């Protein structure tokens, strides 16, 4: 499974990237706003840090302008993936830009039907939103599983990029189901290391070595 980090905060990306925990980055207008940075400037800096795909989202809603924005975004760096919404105009933009050889991330997916359309339009990645479905008492993980089944049934090459990941359980479940990629905030990825038995065991080891009076350094 590939890990994309869902942020536009440079320091957080660098920390995870240095540990080999970043295979790509996803951004969106909300994350750009939170960073307080210029969208072109911060996206260029992210692309210089991470060698994998960096999703940069268009801000238009009509196909013609989305296509124009996508063509501008891909000039930032070779590893740009243009992110478009899963609307009819977004699919039109996906088809044109993917036909030109660009990578596309079709976002805000909430149904299998939408995922099928995105794959047929040439999406590199489809981004189903797990957490947002859970928020309205629907099973976000079930959507990941259903898309996996349909894509495998028909040999679609579009990668399933599980988004809106809120918990470490989401990550483990997506891995079991067979999502190709997860994108999560840095805090969620870092919290994967935590387990109370690890903490308990370490405390016991440290207490025992302290009793011996020994030190390595």
Look up the CATH number of the domain holding residue 44: 3.20.20.70
> Are the C-beta atoms of residues 204 and 25 closer than 8 Å to each other?
no
Which residues of the chain carry a pLDDT beneath 50? Answer: none
Residue 182: predicted pLDDT: 98
pLDDT, tens digit, 9 for 90 and up, residues 202-214: 999 999 999 999 9
Candidate list 44, 83, 103, 211, residue with the active-site label: 83
Determine, yes or no, domain membership for 198.
no
Q: Residue 195: phi, psi to the nearest 5?
A: -155, 135
The enclosing H or E element of 1 equals none
Determine, yes or no, domain membership for 108.
yes
**3-state class percentages of the chain: helix first, strand second, coil last, to nearest 5:** 55, 20, 30
Determine, yes or no, domain membership for 64.
yes
Clarify whether 83 is annotated catalytic.
Answer: yes
| Overall pTM surpassing 0.85 (yes/no) | yes
**Within 13 Å and on the Cβ side, how many CA atoms surround 138?**
13
Determine, yes or no, domain membership for 76.
yes
> Are the C-beta atoms of residues 177 and 150 closer than 8 Å to each other?
no
Determine, yes or no, domain membership for 138.
yes
What would the DSSP string read from start to end of 144-209? HHHHHHHHHHHT---EEEEBS--SHHHHHHHHHHT-SEEEE-HHHHHGGG--HHHHHHHHHHHHHH
Name the DSSP class of 108. E
Determine, yes or no, domain membership for 211.
no
CA 131 to chain centre: 13
Residue 203: predicted pLDDT: 97
Residue 83: predicted pLDDT: 98
Residue 95: predicted pLDDT: 98
Residue 101: predicted pLDDT: 98
Residue 71: predicted pLDDT: 98
Query: In total, how many domains does the chain have?
Result: 1
Tell me the residue range of the domain where 67 lies: 2-192
């Amino acid at each position: 499974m590939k890990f994309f980090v869902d942020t536009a905060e440079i320091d957080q990306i660098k920390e995870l990237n240095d540990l080999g925990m970043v295979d790509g980055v996803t951004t969106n207008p909300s994350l750009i706003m939170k960073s307080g940075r210029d969208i072109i400037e911060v996206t260029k800096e992210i692309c210089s840090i991470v060698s994998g795909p960096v999703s940069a989202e268009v801000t238009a809603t009509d196909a013609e302008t989305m296509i124009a924005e996508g063509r501008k975004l891909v000039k930032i760096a070779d590893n740009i993936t243009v992110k478009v919404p899963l609307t009819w105009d977004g699919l039109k933009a996906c088809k044109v830009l993917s036909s030109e050889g660009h990578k596309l991330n079709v976002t805000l997916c909430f149904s299998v039907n939408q995922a099928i359309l995105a794959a047929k339009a040439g999406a590199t990645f489809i981004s189903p939103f797990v957490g947002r479905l859970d928020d309205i008492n629907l099973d976000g993980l079930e959507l990941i599983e259903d898309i996996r089944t349909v894509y495998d049934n028909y040999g679609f090459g579009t990668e399933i990029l599980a988004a809106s990941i809120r918990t470490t359980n989401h990550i483990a479940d997506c891995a079991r189901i067979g999502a190709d990629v997860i994108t999560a905030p840095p805090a969620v990825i870092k919290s994967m290391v935590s387990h109370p038995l690890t903490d308990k065991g370490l405390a016991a080891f440290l207490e025992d070595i302290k009793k011996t009076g020994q030190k390595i350094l």
